[in-house]
Amino acid sequence: MYAALWRVLPGPWWVRVLILLVAAAVILYALFFFVFPWVSALIDPQDVTVQ
């Protein structure tokens, strides 16, 4: 899968690395500012039951 992604990206290797770094940064930004707060609203950490 990663090899197929690498072949699809345009440009020389340094452009591909730059594109992947930017994509990773965008994904992390979306996770930290949109997904994780939404999930934390659904999960109550004080409501833990261990038996």
Gyration radius from the chain CA atoms: 18
Give tens-digit pLDDT for 7-45: 999 999 999 999 999 999 999 999 999 999 898 888 877
16 is written with which tokens? 């591909």
Residue recorded with tokens 């340094």: 14
pTM attached to this predicted model: 0.72
Supply the pLDDT for residue 42: 83
Sign for the CA dihedral angle at 20, 25, 30, 36 comes to positive
Whether the predicted pLDDT of 47 surpasses 80: no
34 is written with which tokens? 């949109």
Whether the predicted pLDDT of 5 surpasses 80: yes
Spatial separation of the C-alpha atoms in residues 36 and 40, rounded to whole Å: 6
